[in-house]
Amino acid sequence: MKAISLFSGAGGMDVGFKQAGFTVIAANEIDTHACQTFRANHIETTLYEGDIANYTNELAHLTDIDVVFGGPPCQGFSVAGKMDITDPRSQLIFSFADVVEKVRPRAFVMENVKALGHLEKFALLRKQLIARFIKAGYTTILITLNAKDFGIPQSRERVFFIGLRQTTNPITVASFQKYYKTPPTLREVISPLGKAGTLNNRKTCKAKITLATKPVLRQSPYAGMLFNGQGRPLNPDGWASTLPASMGGNRTPIIDEAHLFHDAKPWVEEYHQHLMKGGKPYSSDAAPHSLRRLTVDEAALLQGFPLNYQFCGPQSKVFSQIGNAVPCKLAYVIADVVCQTLAYPDFSQNDEHSIGQNMELQFA
């Protein structure tokens, strides 16, 4: 099956679609460094670099396309940002629709942050987008998936707009159940790389770790705000919170190497307990040397990129490429479900959650 990749970034979604058997014949990305990364890893795909509006007509000449997929920029919709509908990047969801209308693939998959699919603030925008897909002939659904439900050690919820043309086999909640898998712990995933700065884990983040003078406490020591910046501590025996595209500075998550490699009692938990009992915050420079930031290679593994994946550009841009990506394994799940649906268009699952046009599915 043939696919077109839009807003491709570093190509994380492409990795998953290729693993599901798709041949990605064309892609589009505007960021220079992400384009360099994409070319280094997807040499068989024709990459159109630049504004997608400049290539819509060119892409329209590609024929017999099975799927158009991609993740338009989410900054205008993210709860971590300004949630600004007037942000020019917010209009790029309609650029995705432009390509779908012109190429007319058998299916499409558009990824974005959960807020776009659920907040009332974006209801009109959602309605306008889905109306265009339906007018173009696509049964369109919204499904929210969390990466950690599919064997990925990261709690990362994203919404997927999935459209199908000329099929009697609907995609339902049941379509994803066979992919359920308990994720490994952070320890299992990143500890094989070795300590930060060693041969297989050299791309360290040098952002200093300082304690907040007015910490914000939550029940979990791995929530709240114990440190300056928005980099949260990670529990090696648990899963990561959503890795942000703003990693590289003080928003990069924090790891306790003594806990990770030597099974020492986690300092973060001890400090949190001290504060919860009414103890005074320590001085800002009191964080132990065993605490350090997540490395580039560790972040890439937590997003599911292959070990030999080549990233290009300054480290800050590489962190951004990783944080912006769709986890490769989650992309594979979506791609495989779509692939099976297209391969067997007359098969019906007879599931009670079967859906018609424009129905939202909440999938926790």
What are 184-223's pLDDT values in tens digits? Answer: 999 999 999 999 999 999 999 999 999 999 999 999 999 9
The backbone torsions φ and ψ at residue 15, rounded to the nearest 5 degrees and listed phi first, read -60, -45
Whether residues 14 and 127 fall in one domain: yes
Burial class (CB in 10 A: 0-12, 13-18, 19+), 159: buried
Per-residue confidence (pLDDT) for residue 348, from 0 to 100: 45
Per-residue confidence (pLDDT) for residue 168, from 0 to 100: 63
Burial class (CB in 10 A: 0-12, 13-18, 19+), 200: exposed
Whether residues 276 and 352 fall in one domain: no
Whether residues 173 and 233 fall in one domain: no
CATH number, domain containing residue 274: 3.90.120
Whether residues 221 and 269 fall in one domain: yes
Per-residue confidence (pLDDT) for residue 210, from 0 to 100: 97
* Domain around 54: 2-180+327-361
Per-residue confidence (pLDDT) for residue 120, from 0 to 100: 84
Whether residues 147 and 243 fall in one domain: no
Do residues 300 and 320 make contact, with C-beta atoms less than 8 angstroms apart? Answer: no
Whether residues 60 and 89 fall in one domain: yes
Per-residue confidence (pLDDT) for residue 353, from 0 to 100: 33
Domain count, the chain: 2
Strand order in 23-29's β-sheet?
Answer: 46-49, 23-29, 2-6, 67-70, 107-113, 157-164, 139-146, 359-361
Whether residues 268 and 144 fall in one domain: no
CATH number, domain containing residue 27: 3.40.50.150
Q: Whole-prediction pTM value?
A: 0.91
pLDDT in tens, 79-106: 555 555 666 566 888 999 999 999 999 9
Per-residue confidence (pLDDT) for residue 118, from 0 to 100: 76
Whether residues 151 and 206 fall in one domain: no
> Hey, CA dihedral for 92, 153, 108, 168, is it positive or negative?
negative
Residues with catalytic roles: 74
Whether residues 126 and 198 fall in one domain: no
Per-residue confidence (pLDDT) for residue 77, from 0 to 100: 55
Whether residues 14 and 66 fall in one domain: yes
- The DSSP H or E segment spanning 296 is helix 296-302
Averaged pLDDT, groups of 10, the chain, 364 residues long: 97 98 97 98 97 94 96 66 61 92 96 84 88 94 94 95 83 89 96 96 96 95 94 95 94 97 95 97 96 98 96 97 97 96 65 34 33
Whether residues 337 and 241 fall in one domain: no
Whether residues 251 and 302 fall in one domain: yes
Do residues 108 and 162 make contact, with C-beta atoms less than 8 angstroms apart? Answer: yes
